[in-house]
Amino acid sequence: RDEVSGSGIYGFGKTGGRIPVGIGRRRWRIVVTGGAGFVGSHLVDKLIERGDDVIVIDNFFTGRKENLVHHLRNPRFELIRHDVVEPILLEVDQIYHLACPASPVHYKYNPVKTIKTNVMGTLNMLGLAKRIGARFLLTSTSEVYGDPLEHPQKETYWGNVNPIGERSCYDEGKRTAETLAMDYHRGAEVEVRIARIFNTYGPRMCLDDGRVVSNFVAQAIRKQPLTVYGDGKQTRSFQYVSDLVNGLVALMEGEHVGPFNLGNPGEFTMLELAEVVKETIDPSATIEFRANTADDPHKRKPDISKAKSLLNWEPKVALREGLPLMVSDFQKRILIEDEGKGF
């Protein structure tokens, strides 16, 4: 292991002060589970860029090697194909635990596997954190609030979740993951951090993952109608991925366990989102209404005052600024896909 500067003897699991690499702290070794996915790969970029060593664990269910291809020749980067449902032995300082499909289409595909990933996967990563004294960050979700009866949602709200519905593998899975994290924190003194992430978008989302922003953007580029589910009056709050990554790092390095809402409070109906996508890509795009999915939350908007005051974090990128950054990535990838198909 390399010393960044002469800070003397060190051991894994002692994250020490929060001095950036290069001005006094040693280089950390950091695991990112799910690092080949959308959010994980952007987080890896930031950790590598600031000078730390990164190990990605991913089973490539929804992740892609392409998201990390620019790091593959970097000796400070390691990619391990591994399923977090199985135990693993590593020596690291910090664990960012992201492994879990996030799109409803993906997490409903094999719901039992989604529960195993959330429960057994999180248990294994907490067991690892306990053994080596690493700090552990869980990426939980706004879905723990279910179809919320409180609006906007504060971290103190316990949620309105259907325990036996089609989304339960994900929202109840994440709720159990939070419980596990808190029990390891209280019972085994693991340093845990819990982020409740609200809908996030940006480059590298799967083109066809079924989430609303990726669907609308891909549809507008492909000159297909934008599919609005239900009456389109349900709301979501959309956060650009760089804001989320900054929030995750601030949380990991701060002194507070959480949970913290990480999201952009700007709230849009799906019809409003469709209009923003039209303005950005193709004003002549049409809208097609489809039946909504079961248990779809009617509204969602984070109260981020806790993260603002304790982490000194707030999102910076508005939807109309972030969307064009995602659109150019999608345009390139859709072009490559079409060329591959011989169009």
Number of residues that bind ligand UDP (CB under 6 A): 23
Pick what 175 binds: ligand NAD, ligand UDP, none; C-beta below 5 to 8 Å, kind-dependent: none
Partner from ligand NAD, ligand UDP, none contacting 94, C-beta within 5 to 8 A by type: none
∠ Cα 177 194 75 (to 5°): 95
Q: Which of 29, 30, 48, 62 binds ligand NAD (CB under 6 A)?
A: 62
Q: How far apart are CB 10 and ligand NAD at their closest, in Å?
A: 29
> Is 296 a residue that touches ligand UDP (CB under 6 A)?
yes
Q: Which position among 31, 84, 169, 304 is part of the footprint of ligand NAD (CB under 6 A)?
A: 84
Beta strand spans in 233-318 (E)? 235-237, 239-240, 260-262, 267-269, 287-290
Tell me, residue by residue from 24 to 43, as one string, x for binding to ligand UDP by CB under 6 A and - for no binding.
--------------------
Q: Which residues between 168 and 227 bind ligand NAD (CB under 6 A)?
A: 197, 199-200
CB atoms within 10 A of CB 156: 9
Residue listed under structure tokens 């390139």: 332
CA–CA separation, 185 vs 224, rounded Å?
49
Q: Which positions from 121 to 150 touch ligand NAD by CB under 6 A, shown as an x/- string?
A: x-----------------x-x---------
Which residues 6+ apart lie within 8 Å of 289 measured at CB? 227, 228, 229, 230, 231, 232
140 to 92, 133, 181, 255: CA distances (angstroms): 22, 21, 10, 18
Nearest approach, Cβ of 22 to ligand UDP (angstroms)?
30
Binders of ligand UDP among 266-285, rule CB under 6 A? 270
Stretch that binds ligand NAD, among 20-28, 37-45, 183-191, 300-308 (CB under 6 A): 37-45
| 58 lines the binding site for ligand NAD (CB under 6 A) | yes
Give the x-and-dash track for 238-267 against ligand UDP (CB under 6 A): ------------------------------
CB 303 within 8 A of CB 152: yes
Q: How far is the CB of 164 from ligand NAD (least distance, A)?
A: 20
62's contact among ligand UDP, ligand NAD, none, with CB below 5 to 8 A by partner kind, is ligand NAD
C-alpha 264/C-alpha 33 separation (Å) is 24
Q: How far apart are CA 171 and CA 228, in angstroms?
A: 23
Two structure tokens written together for 196: 């409740």
DSSP assignment of 65-84 equals GGGGGGGTT-TTEEEEE--T
36 is an interface residue for ligand NAD by CB under 6 A: yes
Instruction: Decide if residue 131 touches ligand UDP (CB under 6 A).
Output: yes
Smaller CB distance to ligand NAD: residue 141 or 153?
141
At residue 199, φ and ψ (nearest 5 deg) are: -40, 125
Out of 31, 98, 128, 323, the only residue in the binding site for ligand UDP (CB under 6 A) is 128
Q: In the chain, which ranges are E strands?
A: 29-33, 53-58, 77-81, 94-97, 135-141, 192-197, 200-201, 226-229, 235-237, 239-240, 260-262, 267-269, 287-290
Residues near ligand NAD (CB under 6 A) are 33-34, 36-40, 57-63, 83-85, 98-102, 106, 117, 121, 139, 141, 197, 199-200
